[in-house]
A and B are shown apart, each in its own frame.
Chain A
Amino acid sequence: MKECSKIQDELSAYLDGELAPEDSERVRSHLVACERCRREAEDLRRVAAEVRDLPRVAAPADLRERTLERVRSEGAGATTSRLRLVWPAAAAVLIAGALSLYASFSRRTALPGPRYESPAAGTGGRLLESPPPVERAPVPGRAASLRAADEASEAMPRTADALPSAVPDLKALAHALGEQPEPPVEIFIASSQPEQAMQQVQALLIQNRIGVPEAAGLESMRRAEAPGTSPLVLHLTPDERALLVQLLHQAQMKPAVTVGQAAIFDQRRKFALGRVSGEERETVAEPAAGKDKAAPEPRMPVLLNFVPPPLPPGLIEVPPPTEPARAP
């Protein structure tokens, strides 16, 4: 029976021809002898065949034209160049702000009690209230090269050196885009390893007394229903959020909060900064020109695409990512 269970774990790889020759032979000879495992293998084979035989679905007839339209408008630089300039501006804000935030962070950690009730207090909050004016003059060459680098680093498979080293502060970005975030905010952290992400963020929050009165209390953090893609939802004041972003970065969770992966949501639509089209960015930047100038939402949810890499030693102890064990 134990042998059967071991063999059954290997069946998919066996059927896919992905086992080493000796393992494959072991499975094959077991299957000759064991009817139960043979039936299991047959079921798995048929399941794979069913998926393989699904019809191939052709692209919508207008996809090419729609894509080309956007490509042409990009080429002309008509819709995007101005907003592209937001990024260097935001990066400058960040770099200017990083040291002060660092100082603010050191002070906070020295504070003896919870600091939950003072959203406006602390340099971290004020620091980014008035970012320098976004450069508006068109500089097409520079904008284009920045854009290309930005897009490429995002599109390419993630590697440490492909990521931008400076993490734009989300609040500064929001300012630059004309959004006025109001407290409190929610931070969604989507991760393929929600447990691990939760632990890491929790540890950061507790260590720095952000949004949590005590170590045990993280009532504001809850998990949504879909495992594997669960956002962790936090209610934070803007300066707490700004600090958290910095802390995440300092903890070398770099891929978590990069230009390409930070996303700002408005009330109904999601806007992934660095991912959205020029037209969509325009919509974000100039809501006044749009239709629904209705009551502003009291919260500004921010989504961080969170992929926890290993932490530097000594910062926070977190077990390495593992596949959840599952009984055979």
Chain B
Amino acid sequence: MSVATANAGGAADEELLAACRRGDPEPFGILVERHQDKLFNLAYRLTGDRDEAADAVQEAFLKAWRGMAQFKGESAFYTWVFRILVNEVRSRMRFRAVRPRPESLEASDPADERRTGVAGRLASGAAGPLEEACRAERRNLVESALARLEPIHREVIVLRDVEGRDYGEIADLLDCPRGTVKSRIHRARQALRDLLRPVLESEGDLR
């Protein structure tokens, strides 16, 4: 987040929303800046594709903008856009009917990670180059395993393990019974376990 918007972004979401309702797009920019990283991460984990994720986030924000008059503020702005985004990604994935393309994070802009503090966290572990490489390799394996899951399994895993949502929230988001969420999460983890067997067997738990 840039210094300028960080300062301008001192206002609460509600104040910015009020300004947006008057048709001013600039406060909306602050809201976008404020929430885009979390939303992008969600979309990226769901789709496995940076471009698709960026498009979905953009579309979700746009829908939020268009539906501003209908947004009653009963939930937080983030929660609202989050729901829009989950629906957006789901319909995109359904239309595409293809598996996501896992991208190597190695190919991504290193500044991205610094911005989210991941590189910082890794660096603070004073890890040597070898250990770094091992972690990167492991991460790639986990990402491609995730990408190989069925979409219905991937979405529950991302909502649970990446987003930290509980089963009730996931059921509500996906509009399905809680028991379905429970069994899907379990099957998804079993599938991941099978895909990650080599990782689980060859290495100890690094944490």
Contacts and interface: CB of A to CB of B under 8 A. Distances in A.
Contacts of B185: 12-13, 16
Nearest to B5: A64
B183 A323 contact: yes
A228 interface: yes
A70 interface: yes
Contact of B91 (A49, A72, A261): A261
Contacts, number: 205
A164 to B, nearest CB: 14
B166 A18 contact: yes
Interface in A12-68: 12-13, 16, 18, 43-44, 46-61, 63-64, 66-68
A203 B157 CA distance: 35
Contacts of B65: 71, 74
Contacts of B152: 192, 228
Contact of A151 (B66, B94, B151): B66
28 contacts: A9-B186, A48-B161, A50-B142, A50-B199, A51-B142, A51-B146, A51-B158, A56-B116, A57-B108, A57-B116, A59-B41, A60-B40, A60-B54, A63-B36, A63-B54, A63-B57, A66-B58, A68-B25, A70-B58, A71-B25, A75-B23, A148-B67, A152-B67, A155-B84, A157-B172, A190-B97, A263-B95, A305-B91
Contacts of B33: 64
A226 B113 contact: no
Contacts of A155: 60, 63-64, 66-67, 83-84, 87
A299 interface: no
B61 A13 contact: no
B101 interface: no
B97 A229 contact: yes
A54 B164 CA distance: 13
A186 interface: no
Interface in B54-75: 54, 57-70
Given A13-B185, A56-B37, A154-B63, 13 more contacts: A12-B182, A12-B186, A43-B200, A50-B192, A54-B139, A54-B143, A59-B54, A60-B50, A61-B111, A67-B36, A152-B70, A157-B175, A229-B97
